[in-house]
Amino acid sequence: MSEQKLVPFFKDGLAQPNFPFTDGKTGSAYDAETSEIVRYCVYVETDFDLDGDGKRDLVKAFVQVPRSAVEGNYKAPTIFEARPYSAGVESDAYDHLKEVEDLTYPEFDMSRVNDAPARRAAAGMTAMDAALQADPASWYYVDKGNPAGDSYCYDNIDLYDYYLVRGFAVVQSSGIGTLSSEGFEAVGTTYERDAFKAVVEWLHGDRPAFTDRENDILTRADWASGKVGMTGRSYGGTMPFAVATTGVAGLETIVPVAGISDWYSFLNQQGAQRYWPKEMLMSFLSYYCSSRYFDPALTDEMNQKFAGYQYQMSRDQIKCGFDYDKKFWDGGNYTLDAEKINCTALIVHGLNDENVSTKQFEMMEQSFRKAGKDVKLILHQGYHMTPTMVLKGYGFLIQGNTYDDILNHWFSHYLCGVDNGAENRPNVLVQSNLDQNVWETAESWEAAHKLVLKSEESGETVLGTDWEKAGIDQNNFDEKMSMTSSNMNRRYLTSQLEQDVTVQGTVRVDFRAALKDGDPADCFHAENVNDADKLSVAIGTESGIMDDVKMTVLLCDLSDEKFDSFQTVDPERNEIPLEVVRKGAIVNGGGLPDFDVIQLQSAHKNYKVITRAYIDLCNPDSGYAPETSAGSIELKPGEFHDYSVYLNAQHYTAKAGHRLAVVIGTEDPVNCLLHKQYSVAVDDASVLAELPVTEEIADFGGLHK
């Protein structure tokens, strides 16, 4: 153990790895007396009582701090990751939903949730004393939800070692309803958001936390500077934005990676289903993340309450169908509180992310601009990934820099006050789709110009939903839709481009359409083609409204000659192949393992789907904002309506000599909960696409079949 009074040291605007490191994954062999990283867990008090035990729910947080800070040599800034997966998952979520699909529970009473009395602290304890009595089993135990049985929790214990050896503290919490926390996993609600907010308040000195859940012994973050930066990917990238929209004191900056800004438009899009069929219920994710659900310490009565809460969540969503309902969805639409944002943001997202759509980063960016706060974008050509995948030991470089060095630069400025010019980063930094070694910059995400493509066709095109006749399935959908017209889709093509065209932003496609035939009384003869559970199927069958008469709209890049592009290769559209280009070239310092540099493998095809979106014909008034999808209509055969479809945000350059294609189709078998039988008439002359582009484009004609 080092006896030096170490403090953070900065060089070239970066915190340097001058702190020693001791692993926390030694289980019972972990020695709190000698560890260079002090580790312990705290239980932060919230303002509510979801589980109804008469006490405010406590939320567990795992704390890792350089020993020098705990010994009082400096106050440490904190990197905080809020991620429900990190205490383990329930791997049997698909099976579980089928096990409970025929069960019913009493209506869950939310009226008493905020009425719980506060806990009282009988005594206090320093961070060092709490660490000396801590049991490593509280942070290092087998994740029973991992089928291999070799994933340990917190499974992300090593994700932020880079920052620990540079003097930052790291705090991780899986949140309400997860193992050793109290309450229920309340995905997409203000309760989930505010539980993570409470951890920030504890770090800032504004909220109590306890050494355990039983003895009410108060402990404060006496080592903390009070300045917090949140980061993480996916769910871990969602909660930083959620907490930021509360305006909580102490949260100085966030770096959300592939995060969700609105849960409705994560699962749905303009009244239509957009996500994987078996995961359409918010209660699915609630159960999946509910590592507390089968905690042996839980009574049968509490487990029944937990199940009842998730059942109520299912039934409430089923009432909405695929439409936006304020009561159900507002709590997870964090954009509604944009004006409360009081921090900066560096937003990171993959432009080929089909899991969390690119619309999510754009809504985040708009929210920060609405609040008048500094916001920057880093957009890469990858899928649902972090530029450095710590647990896999690889990453790609960004303008020759490692991802963690970029975050180090950012956090050193906003959490430590280092005058390193982080605030002068490019507002937009985008990895080129033509050459992944090239990164382009822009002053604004808002494109300066518009390219309007109008159909020069007349007449009607009738599109149906017969997959077999169209010869499409989950594996070939993008190719079939891009390369040919069929009974399920119609392509509207430009002439060959006379110059490169760079799309940046949200493409809007307008058209007029009418239901031609189908039997709504029988839910259009809906088939559960992906073997989803009954509760999930009920979203599309029990809402009491005509719903999800889906139209799929694509913008595609086409060429007579094959060209390189970055495309996902799996049916779920979730993976792009990677290759190692330099072994051990990402140097983490501080004695930590070095990582490999990777790059994306390109596809060589005649097409590339630039961006896509869905709309329900029953929602003609839906627009860009999620809440505009609240109203639906009953379609009448032959009655035309006007539609505007907002495709997912994109930055993409199509080369001169290529063609662009606006493709209008019906169902997408990848994201199809219920396969239906209907046909739609599209007014060919009404088709119009408005593309935000970075440079003025000379007129090159309209759209043709």
Q: Within this chain, do residues 108 and 229 fall inside the same structural domain, yes or no? A: yes
Place of tokens 């770096």: 255
Q: Within this chain, do residues 478 and 547 fall inside the same structural domain, yes or no? A: yes
Residues contacting 228, CB < 8 A, separation 6+: 77, 78, 80, 200, 203, 204, 250, 251, 252, 415
Q: Within this chain, do residues 360 and 462 fall inside the same structural domain, yes or no? A: no
* Confidence (pLDDT) at 116: 75
Are the beta carbons of 395 and 586 closer than 8 angstroms?
Answer: yes
Q: Within this chain, do residues 390 and 480 fall inside the same structural domain, yes or no? A: no
DSSP 451: E
Token pair listed for 217 = 């012994």
DSSP 27: G
Q: Is residue 524 part of a domain?
A: yes
**Average pLDDT, rounded, for the chain:** 95
Confidence of residue 4 (pLDDT cuts 50, 70, 90): low
227 three-class SS: strand
Q: Is residue 554 part of a domain?
A: yes
Amino acid of residue 56: R
Q: Which of 393, 423, 442 is the last residue of a domain?
A: 442
Token pair listed for 110 = 């939310």
1 pLDDT higher than 60: no
Q: Which of 422, 442, 462 is the last residue of a domain?
A: 442
Chain segment 575-592, per-residue pLDDT in tens: 999 999 999 999 999 999
Q: Within this chain, do residues 211 and 350 fall inside the same structural domain, yes or no? A: yes
Are the beta carbons of 415 and 661 closer than 8 angstroms?
Answer: no
Residues contacting 99, CB < 8 A, separation 6+: none
Chain segment 474-514, per-residue pLDDT in tens: 999 999 999 999 999 999 999 999 999 999 999 999 999 99
Confidence of residue 150 (pLDDT cuts 50, 70, 90): low
* Confidence (pLDDT) at 113: 84
Q: What is the pTM of this model?
A: 0.97
Amino acid of residue 388: T
* Confidence (pLDDT) at 120: 78
Q: Within this chain, do residues 139 and 92 fall inside the same structural domain, yes or no? A: yes
Partners of 38 in the beta sheet? 65
Are the beta carbons of 188 and 235 closer than 8 angstroms?
Answer: no
DSSP 535: H
* Confidence (pLDDT) at 112: 78
Strand order from edge to edge, sheet including 659-665: 489-493, 659-665, 550-565, 603-616
DSSP 328: H
| Exposed e or buried b per residue across 210-249, where buried means at least 16 C-beta atoms within 10 angstroms of its C-beta | bbbeeebbbbbbbbbbbbbbbbbbbbbbbbbbbbbbbebe
Residues 481 and 466: their CA atoms lie apart, in Å, by: 14
Q: Could you please report the per-residue DSSP string of 537-565?
A: HHHHHSSSS----EEEEEEEEEEEEEEEE
Q: Is residue 33 part of a domain?
A: yes
Q: Within this chain, do residues 466 and 418 fall inside the same structural domain, yes or no? A: no
Chain segment 524-539, per-residue pLDDT in tens: 999 999 999 999 999 9
Residues 408 and 79: their CA atoms lie apart, in Å, by: 11
Residues 288 and 293: their CA atoms lie apart, in Å, by: 9
200 three-class SS: helix
Handedness of CA 516, 486, 612, 333 (dihedral sign): positive
Q: Within this chain, do residues 479 and 388 fall inside the same structural domain, yes or no? A: no
Closest alpha carbon to 654 in 502, 491, 452 = 502
Residues 665 and 685: their CA atoms lie apart, in Å, by: 16
Chain segment 426-450, per-residue pLDDT in tens: 999 999 999 999 999 999 999 999 9
| Exposed/middle/buried for residue 483 (C-beta within 10 Å: 0-12, 13-18, 19+) | middle
| Chain-centre distance for alpha carbon 552 | 22
- Percentage of the chain lying above the pLDDT 90 cut: 90
* Confidence (pLDDT) at 347: 99
Q: Is residue 7 part of a domain?
A: no
Are the beta carbons of 204 and 250 closer than 8 angstroms?
Answer: yes
252 three-class SS: strand
Chain segment 332-364, per-residue pLDDT in tens: 999 999 999 999 999 999 999 999 999 999 999
Q: Within this chain, do residues 505 and 630 fall inside the same structural domain, yes or no? A: yes
From the CA atom positions of the chain, what is the Rg in Å? 26
- Percentage of the chain lying above the pLDDT 70 cut: 99
Closest alpha carbon to 273 in 689, 690, 670, 693 = 670
Q: Within this chain, do residues 366 and 436 fall inside the same structural domain, yes or no? A: yes
Are the beta carbons of 574 and 383 closer than 8 angstroms?
Answer: yes
Question: What's 408's domain CATH number?
Answer: 3.40.50.1820
2 pLDDT higher than 60: no
Residues 97 and 520: their CA atoms lie apart, in Å, by: 27
DSSP 431: E
Range name among 89-93, 258-262, 554-558 with the lowest pLDDT average: 89-93
Structural domain harbouring 101: 15-442
Are the beta carbons of 208 and 60 closer than 8 angstroms?
Answer: no
Provide mean pLDDT across the span 663-672.
98
Residues contacting 428, CB < 8 A, separation 6+: 376, 377, 379, 441, 442, 443, 444, 445
Range name among 43-47, 50-54, 372-376 with the lowest pLDDT average: 50-54
Q: Which of 420, 442, 464 is the last residue of a domain?
A: 442
DSSP H or E run through 231: strand 224-233
Q: Within this chain, do residues 64 and 93 fall inside the same structural domain, yes or no? A: yes
Phi-psi region of 27 (alpha: psi -120 to 50; beta: other; left: phi over 0): left
Q: Is residue 189 part of a domain?
A: yes
Amino acid of residue 386: T
Treating both helix axes as pointing N-terminal to C-terminal, what angle do 235-244 and 190-204 enclose, rounded to 10 degrees? 70
Range name among 399-408, 619-628, 673-682, 691-700 with the lowest pLDDT average: 691-700
Chain segment 49-89, per-residue pLDDT in tens: 999 999 999 999 999 999 999 999 999 999 999 999 999 99
Residues 455 and 511: their CA atoms lie apart, in Å, by: 10
Q: Within this chain, do residues 412 and 470 fall inside the same structural domain, yes or no? A: no
Q: Is residue 309 part of a domain?
A: yes
* Confidence (pLDDT) at 197: 98
Q: How many domains does the chain have?
A: 2
Are the beta carbons of 445 and 430 closer than 8 angstroms?
Answer: no
Q: How far is CA 593 from CA 29, 49, 386, 584, in A?
A: 21, 43, 18, 8
Question: What's 496's domain CATH number?
Answer: 2.60.120.260
Token pair listed for 656 = 């001169």
Q: Is residue 92 part of a domain?
A: yes
Are the beta carbons of 27 and 427 closer than 8 angstroms?
Answer: no
* Confidence (pLDDT) at 3: 59
Residues 426 and 414: their CA atoms lie apart, in Å, by: 16
Of 5 and 12, which is predicted with more confidence?
12
* Confidence (pLDDT) at 699: 83
Q: Is residue 598 part of a domain?
A: no
